Structure 1
Amino acid sequence: MIPNAPSHNHTHANSSANNRTLPPSVFTLPPTAQLEALYTIIRNKDTSRGDLLFYSDRIIRLLVEEGLNHLPVIKKSVVTPTGATYDGVGFEGKICGVSILRAGEAMEAGLREVCRSMRISKILIKGALKHLVYMGRRINSWDGFQDEETAQPKLFYSKFPQDIAKRYVLLLDPMLATGGSAMKAVDVLMEHGVGEERIIFINLISSPEGLKTFCAKFPRLKVITGWIDQGLNEKAYIIPGLGDFGERSGSVEQEWGWEEMVFDGSTGRIAWLARHSIFVHDATLDDASVPLFL
């Protein structure tokens, strides 16, 4: 195994991370005028859904490429069309993407554009939905859906490859505010045998508070973030931020008239209720979602 040379911890000249010392496990993209222009577009409240997707995908591809730089490689020789031998490298192990629903799904396209055949799994944690129907009962508040002792986010659903413990995981969530959902997702991955050092968290925008909390709990996990913002406001929103990325990027709610999500604890089935369809995520199915047209 040949460990990749670590990248430098970059900070953006106009971010609040300037004059702050980043944890050694945090890596940001090199500050360039092009990157700042991309963030200016996706932060603009008047940017169309199509432009938001296009330009955020450009950033996500850069983030994924940076994340891949931190994976270990092994020596690999190939024969070129000229008949010569080229001594290069290949990745040391299998890779898996895991998106945190709902907003994390919007990052999957960018991931697949870099890694075509990568397996992508999903994880659903309290706080990702506006409301939920659980076992036939509509839940508008989240009472009873948090850990009673810690009041921390609670897992609703996860579906991973059987060999997840042997894979390197790229964990996807566009925004790191308080870090609660991301930390719960890492806890779940580690419960499935994934080593902390085998997880790379990739996101578009982080708050300094969230990074500090997240990295303090998981010091061996690497974070690849595109931008570190000023901080959180009194509502725990990232400022200046870019709003609700899941809604703005055209989640099921916007594109399909999404209303609610149903979780059946007895079967492990999750259904997104839409205006014209029901999208089912079944623990017995390998496909991420199966549209059942009404």
Structure 2
Amino acid sequence: MSTARKLQTRNHLEIDNLHLLPQTNQLRALHTIIRDRGARREDFVFYSGRIIRLLIETGLGLLPFEPCEVETPVGRRYEGRRFASQLCGVSIARAGESMEAELRAVCRSVRIGKILIQRDKTTKLPRLYYSSLPRDIARCHVLLLDPMLATGGTALAAIQVLLDRGVAEANIIFVNLIAVLEGIAAVTKRYPDVKIVTSSIEEGLNENAYMMPGIGDFGDRYFGTEA
């Protein structure tokens, strides 16, 4: 899949650098399980993990690669590929931490930073409370992890943290489970070189800024807590 590809949404908008997973029956079946309000927590964790693994693999496919030749067990040469840059993950706490295990499963030695951003109760604006990132993150391609992209406020704040640490905008891949066009537009308008990988584009936001049909509070459902 080309990093410069344009994806046409259901509303006939063309958005650069948006990568939607193929909407197969299998993916829809996985979404059916985790969207069910009566789903057991162990099922929610397991099946959302399967979707996250697909998202991570898609995100890795957007990284730069370079030629790498190896010799096979039968003595032939194989013209392969290998990652051409350093990689790190950054999860937006708390829900983004649910995606760390799937990243580690496919990139065993990957370093993972954390960013904590919460909405200020007075100003209603996202506020950075904590960040812990690799010292050399400016030289890395970054998989930014957060399951939900709703209004885009948290994502914009997290991306700015990475930019302030020297990460190139084009080296950020934002991986999320579900998104709405409002959030996608907010991110791509301010940071057009950031790539977005998602498994579903929702119908929209309701009056309380919840995604519809949605999935509920992903972090609470995944970690077994209550808001």
Counterpart of 2:163? 190
SS of the residue corresponding to residue 30 of structure 2 reads: helix
Counterpart of 2:194? 221
- Is residue 10–residue 31 contact of structure 1 (8 Å, CA) maintained in 2? no
Counterpart of 1:230? 203
CA distance in 2, matches of 1:52, 1:106: 11
Counterpart of 1:240? 213
| 2:48 counterpart (48, 51, 56) | 56
Q: CA deviation at 1:214?
A: 1.1
CA distance in 2, matches of 1:228, 1:245: 16
Post-superposition Cα deviations, 1:231-287, rounded to whole Å, max 9, x if no partner, equal 001111111100000000015x46xxxx9xxxxxxxxxxxxxxxxxxxxxxxxxxxx
* Amino acid in structure 2 at the alignment position of 1:142: K
Q: CA deviation at 1:66?
A: 0.8
- Is residue 94–residue 219 contact of structure 2 (8 Å, CA) maintained in 1? yes
CA distance in 2, matches of 1:157, 1:93: 27
Counterpart of 1:110? 102
Counterpart of 2:143? 170
Counterpart of 1:91? 83
Which structure 2 residues correspond to residues 3-14 of structure 1 after superposition, within 5 A?
A: 5-6=2-3
1:80 aligns with 2:72: yes
The TM-score with structure 2 as length reference comes to 0.94
Post-superposition Cα deviations, 1:159-194, rounded to whole Å, max 9, x if no partner, equal 111110000000000010101011100000000000
Q: CA deviation at 1:113?
A: 1.8
* Amino acid in structure 2 at the alignment position of 1:220: D
SS of the residue corresponding to residue 83 of structure 1 reads: coil
CA distance in 1, matches of 2:156, 2:48: 23
When residues 29 and 220 of structure 1 are mapped into structure 2, their CA distance, relative to the original with a 3 A threshold, is: same
Work out the number of aligned pairs and report it. 227
Which one has a bigger Cα radius of gyration?
1
- Is residue 10–residue 30 contact of structure 1 (8 Å, CA) maintained in 2? no
* Amino acid in structure 2 at the alignment position of 1:155: L
Q: CA deviation at 1:67?
A: 0.8
* Amino acid in structure 1 at the alignment position of 2:110: M
Counterpart of 1:14? none
Which structure 2 residues correspond to residues 274-293 of structure 1 after superposition, within 5 A?
A: none
Q: CA deviation at 1:117?
A: 1.5
Counterpart of 2:121? 142
User: Percent of aligned positions with the same letter in both sequences?
Assistant: 49
Which structure 2 residues correspond to residues 149-160 of structure 1 after superposition, within 5 A?
A: 152-160=125-133
- Is residue 28–residue 227 contact of structure 1 (8 Å, CA) maintained in 2? yes
The TM-score with structure 1 as length reference comes to 0.73
Is the helix fraction higher in 1 or 2? 2
- Is residue 10–residue 29 contact of structure 1 (8 Å, CA) maintained in 2? no
CA distance in 1, matches of 2:55, 2:19: 10
- Is residue 7–residue 27 contact of structure 1 (8 Å, CA) maintained in 2? no
SS of the residue corresponding to residue 199 of structure 2 reads: strand
